[in-house]
Chains A and B, each alone.
Chain A
């Protein structure tokens, strides 16, 4: 069931990283993992259990959707399901980034005041 407030709710770290990975292009499961690892410079290690559990909840919330099942030319000849970010997903990502900006601004203000 889609949750209309999902775009406003804070995101879990896994969901945030998956949305970031999908913000530039459609990716399959392994592609998402590789992008998350690259984005976090190897600091975030996501296994298939976490990835697909999050993907299931994100599909339900309408943040992402399944795209075509197709072969990745850079890999083998197995057909893979690709995932893409939706408008709601972009809104959720934007809201989360804005929240982070607010926290960073607050923290910077306090740190400069203390210094």
Chain B
């Protein structure tokens, strides 16, 4: 009876130790490991052999496993970060080369750093979100939504730097809705579909609000084309997510 209490207590402590595994590993194997530990302790108890030394050996052996799994996970993460950093650097070459050959392209160091951070942030967001799911529709949806968000944010910032019109801030509101919505949807495909459709609808509303009658026809046409493209991209990403949720 006393040993039963000890086995149960050791199992509780072992369950606490297992929480040090990376979360996906713990969710998949934690229960099985706990059961196996319990079975091993019970076997020892039935053989009337000491438990403490055995439990300590298992704790030591499991701790090595915890270090190995965490190290392996960190290595995969480091590889992903390095790959994204290199791709972002490759993409940065485009404006870097363009600034040398295109007349009037005078970015300062800050501009290039800002652009690199944008490329890197978008790429890393894609790599981390897309690996949550294997479905190509989910990955394509994430890619399309990020490209649309990146391009819209970029175009908007350029406009804001050249104009005193603060109504452009409303476009950043569309992106904020996307960010908060993705967080609330916990990146689940079904929820993300709704978020992307909401962003597309909000963009239409913002387009109507920001539109002004004293703007030259050419600007109106360009703005309309821009809106149609971005609404189409957000809606298409929403459709991809909806497909991925089935």
A residues with a Cβ closer than 8 A to B are 28-30, 33, 47-53, 55-56, 75, 78, 80-81
Given A47-B57, A52-B29 in contact, is the A30-B65 Cβ separation under 8 Å? no
B147 at the interface (CB under 8 A from A): no
Residue of A nearest to B29 (CB): A52
Q: Mark interface residues in B19-34 (1 if CB within 8 Å of A CB, else 0).
A: 0000001001101110
B171 at the interface (CB under 8 A from A): no
Do residues A48 and B62 form an inter-chain contact, with CB atoms below 8 A? yes
Q: How far is the CA of A46 from the CA of B98 in the complex (A)?
A: 60
Do residues A80 and B32 form an inter-chain contact, with CB atoms below 8 A? yes
Do residues A30 and B61 form an inter-chain contact, with CB atoms below 8 A? no
Chain A residues in 8 Å Cβ range of B69: 53, 56
Kindly list the 9 A-B residue pairs having the minimum CB-CB distance in the complex, ordered from nearest. Answer: A49-B65, A47-B61, A30-B39, A29-B36, A49-B62, A52-B29, A48-B33, A30-B36, A49-B61
Given A53-B65, A53-B68, A53-B69 in contact, is the A48-B28 Cβ separation under 8 Å? no
Given A30-B40, A52-B29, A55-B29 in contact, is the A80-B65 Cβ separation under 8 Å? no
Given A47-B57, A47-B61, A78-B35 in contact, is the A33-B28 Cβ separation under 8 Å? no
Chain B residues in 8 Å Cβ range of A49: 33, 61-66, 68
Q: What is the predominant secondary structure among interface residues of chain B facing chain A?
A: helix
Q: Mark interface residues in B105-128 (1 if CB within 8 Å of A CB, else 0).
A: 000000000000000000000000
Do residues B40 and A52 form an inter-chain contact, with CB atoms below 8 A? no
Give the interface residue-count category, chain B. 20 to 34
B58 at the interface (CB under 8 A from A): yes
Do residues B32 and A52 form an inter-chain contact, with CB atoms below 8 A? yes
Q: How far is the CA of A38 from the CA of B199 in the complex (A)?
A: 61
B residues with a Cβ closer than 8 A to A are 25, 28-29, 31-33, 35-37, 39-40, 57-58, 61-66, 68-69
Do residues A51 and B36 form an inter-chain contact, with CB atoms below 8 A? yes
- Closest chain-A Cβ to B51's Cβ sits at a distance in Å of 15
Q: How far is the CA of A78 from the CA of B42 in the complex (A)?
A: 14
Chain B residues in 8 Å Cβ range of A47: 57-58, 61-62, 65
Chain B residues in 8 Å Cβ range of A53: 65, 68-69
Chain B residues in 8 Å Cβ range of A75: 39
Q: A33-B36, A48-B40 are in contact. List 11 more A-B contacts (CB 8 A).
A: A28-B35, A28-B36, A30-B35, A49-B62, A52-B29, A52-B32, A52-B36, A53-B68, A56-B29, A75-B39, A80-B35
Do residues B29 and A28 form an inter-chain contact, with CB atoms below 8 A? no
- Closest chain-A Cβ to B53's Cβ sits at a distance in Å of 13
- Closest chain-A Cβ to B14's Cβ sits at a distance in Å of 9
Do residues A28 and B40 form an inter-chain contact, with CB atoms below 8 A? no
**A48 touches which one: B25, B61, B68 (CB < 8 A)?**
B61
Given A53-B68, A53-B69, A81-B32 in contact, is the A33-B62 Cβ separation under 8 Å? no
Chain A residues in 8 Å Cβ range of B28: 56
- Closest chain-A Cβ to B9's Cβ sits at a distance in Å of 17
Residue of B40, B64, B65, B68 with highest tally of chain A CB at under 10 A: B65
Chain A residues in 8 Å Cβ range of B65: 47-50, 52-53
- Closest chain-A Cβ to B15's Cβ sits at a distance in Å of 12
- Closest chain-A Cβ to B155's Cβ sits at a distance in Å of 37
18 residue pairs A–B, Cβ–Cβ below 8 Å = A28-B35, A28-B36, A29-B35, A29-B36, A33-B36, A33-B40, A47-B57, A47-B62, A48-B33, A48-B61, A48-B62, A49-B62, A50-B65, A51-B36, A52-B32, A56-B25, A56-B69, A80-B35
